[in-house]
Chains A and B, each alone.
Chain A
Amino acid sequence: DQQVKQNSPSLSVQEGRISILNCDYTNSMFDYFLWYKKYPAEGPTFLISISSIKDKNEDGRFTVFLNKSAKHLSLHIVPSQPGDSAVYFCAASANTGNQFYFGTGTSLTVIP
């Protein structure tokens, strides 16, 4: 039961350009969404979050957009840097529960 989906397993972007990572969810009870970045042999690192009362949240080069009607969120990284190369996971939770549901991840490669 894949409640959070990342349909692109990989993405390559030129340094300096925008990276757009996408995520879809099916559970309308989800009200809190996060993006994590993961390097090999490390745990996921929290990047940015958004609650369902907002449609955009920005933190430096990272912006998360939420489209509740489409059950879709995206992470924009601009400008992309080689150090951004990692696997990015989106995750979602409902305040009625105690767990986060993760997507399968998108591997981002930023080409210098």
Chain B
Amino acid sequence: EPEVTQTPSHQVTQMGQEVILRCVPISNHLYFYWYRQILGQKVEFLVSFYNNEISEKSEIFDDQFSVERPDGSNFTLKIRSTKLEDSAMYFCASSVHLANSPLHFGNGTRLTVT
């Protein structure tokens, strides 16, 4: 069964450094998402992406965050200058349609900012 893959599984970085989290969505999916889960808290929406542009973003997704689909398969989340509070599990997801279509998640990247 096709799946969403994320790399790396764990990333440790120092505060102020840039990180890029990578995702390969399911190939026939058109909508792409990033969510995050801070330890012990709920899964939070960051951003959705369709047709090579951001379709919706949350208040969390400020200027330090950016997303890109550099080629036909990868979908990346960049955090320009990491802060301690960015430490979380970051999940990439994709779906076939926008409405009434489940998200399929990757296994996440655990980001630790020290």
Contact = CB atoms under 8 A, between A and B. Distances in A.
A21 interface: no
A101 B103 contact: no
Interface stretch (A56-64, A74-82, A91-99): A91-99
Contact of A98 (B44, B48, B102): B48
Contacts of B12: none
Interface string B11-50: 0000000000000000000010101000001111100101
B73 interface: no
B4 A98 contact: no
B16 to A, nearest CB: 28
A45 to B, nearest CB: 7
Which 5 pairs of residues, A with B, have the shortest CB-CB distance?
A: A43-B105, A98-B56, A102-B43, A98-B48, A95-B99
15 contacts: A32-B99, A32-B100, A34-B103, A43-B4, A43-B105, A43-B108, A44-B91, A46-B103, A91-B103, A93-B99, A98-B48, A99-B45, A99-B48, A101-B45, A102-B43
Contact of A44 (B6, B50, B105): B105
A23 to B, nearest CB: 12
Contacts, number: 62
Given A99-B56, A103-B42, A45 B105 contact: yes
Contacts of B56: 97-99
A109 interface: no
Question: Which range holds the interface residue count of chain A?
Answer: 20 to 34
B107 interface: yes
B45 A46 contact: no
Contacts of B104: 46
A62 to B, nearest CB: 13
Given A44-B43, A104-B42, A51 B55 contact: no
Nearest to A41: B107
B41 A100 contact: no
A89 B108 CA distance: 16
A46 B56 CA distance: 22
